[in-house]
Amino acid sequence: MKVTLDEIAQALNVSAMTVSRALRGASGVSAETSARVREYARKVNYRPNLAARALAAKRASVLGAIIPNLRHSFWLEMVMGVEQVAHESGYHVFLSHSADDPVVEREEMWTLVGRRVAAVLIASCDPDGNADTIRDLVDEGVHVLMFDRHGRDPIVPGVYADDVGGAARATEHLVSLGYRRIAHLAGDLKFSPARARLSGYQQKLAEYGLDPIVQEAGFGEENGYLGMQALLRRARVDAVFVSHDPSAIGALQAALNSGLRVPEDVALVGFGNMDCAAHVAVPLTTVDQPRTDLGHALARLALRIIAGDADPSTTVVLPTGFVVRKSCGAHLRGRTP
């Protein structure tokens, strides 16, 4: 809280500049001086004032990340991936979230600008509604990257999972197990991943000449529960591909509560491979998103963009995995594609 560069400089009879250089590991200091400085600094518990440093250097070695909420471990695992790569390059990560509120999100974006972060990484809770703000940031010269979800047209570089491919894979799996009345509980279609997953499902059904049965359900357990109820009321189905694991868990609950057996009466496949997917009443077969890898890729892309050696329209798409558990009935139907 106290000791400054100047104090160290005086104590050691060198200039503040020398101390600064030594402590940052910059070149232009003799090994001996550097060692003396570092030792003394450690001894007196010196901590650079990061505010002063950011001000003088006109930039902070910081990546600002904005996620929609703190409720979903998916976001946090991505952030951990970002941190790993960031730290290797001497960057810190400021984590903000909007509590799913577009207004808060805008505020957080500007706050990060106020902190002069090197780049803003955002998974927006309203990709289209806040597109203008993102454009404003870009106009101010801020590096912005999106992840997981994007607006109708991509205005900044980004990193995403292969939602179409993952959905196609899940659907294919169900088809290959012999199911024919395969429905889809779609997520909120205002988000690109929900649209992409719907699309992957549709493509695959079309490929096999099967009829799509789509029920829009939105996000979360509650909506999954309600959506599944609605679906069961209006259609007879063999199997359901659910757009997100939390909804899938709600859907599972709804099926069981209606006296249906899972997977015997209705099979279920989710998307996301969230933590408790393996532990729910009927362990969930699901598409696995490479969370940590997505974070790595995002940080790497951000760093390259900051350094100016990446095309500012780069989009990275990472392939998904697939985890077969009980809810799809593969263990009963003896096929694991």
Q: Given the rule CB under 8 A, which residues bind a second copy?
A: 1-2, 45, 47-52, 54-55, 60, 70-71, 73, 76-77, 79-80, 92, 94-95, 99, 110-111, 113-116, 136, 140-142, 249, 253, 275-276, 279-281
318 lies in the binding site for DNA (CB under 7 A): no
Which residue do the tokens 């518990």 mark?
Answer: 45
Residues forming beta bridges with residue 96, ordered by sequence position:
66
Q: According to CB under 7 A, which one of 48, 312, 319, 321 is a site residue for DNA?
A: 48
Least distance (Å) from a second copy to the CB of residue 280?
A: 5
Least distance (Å) from a second copy to the CB of residue 224?
A: 11
Give the binding range for DNA (CB under 7 A) out of 11-19, 194-202, 220-228, 237-245: 11-19
Strands of 239-242's sheet, edge to edge? 213-216, 182-186, 239-242, 267-272, 285-288, 321-323
Answer with the entry of DNA, a second copy, none that 236 interacts with (C-beta below 5 to 8 A by kind): none
Here the tokens at position 113 are 């600008």
Least distance (Å) from a second copy to the CB of residue 276?
A: 3
Least distance (Å) from a second copy to the CB of residue 206?
A: 34
Q: According to CB under 7 A, which one of 10, 11, 28, 204 is a site residue for DNA?
A: 28
**Integer Cα distance of 272 and 280 in angstroms:** 14
**Integer Cα distance of 313 and 271 in angstroms:** 28
Task: Count how many Cα atoms sit within 13 Å of the Cα of residue 55 in the half-sphere of its side chain.
Answer: 5
CB closer to a second copy, 6 vs 275: 275
Which residue do the tokens 């989710």 mark?
Answer: 270
SS3 (DSSP) at 196: helix
10 lies in the binding site for DNA (CB under 7 A): no
Least distance (Å) from a second copy to the CB of residue 175?
A: 28
Under rule CB under 7 A, how many of the chain's residues touch DNA?
A: 29
Least distance (Å) from a second copy to the CB of residue 49?
A: 6
18 lies in the binding site for DNA (CB under 7 A): yes
CB closer to DNA, 132 vs 140: 140
Q: Do 102 and 125 contact (CB within 8 A), yes or no?
A: yes
Q: According to CB under 7 A, which one of 10, 15, 257, 313 is a site residue for DNA?
A: 15
SS3 (DSSP) at 1: coil
Here the tokens at position 243 are 């757009």
Which residue do the tokens 């099926």 mark?
Answer: 255
- H helix intervals, 58-191: 73-88, 102-114, 131-139, 163-176
**Integer Cα distance of 175 and 69 in angstroms:** 35
Answer with the entry of DNA, a second copy, none that 79 interacts with (C-beta below 5 to 8 A by kind): a second copy
Q: According to CB under 7 A, which one of 11, 35, 55, 70 is a site residue for DNA?
A: 55
Q: Do 60 and 50 contact (CB within 8 A), yes or no?
A: yes
- Residues of this chain that interact with DNA (CB under 7 A) are 4-6, 13-18, 20-21, 23-24, 26-31, 33-34, 48-49, 52-53, 55-58
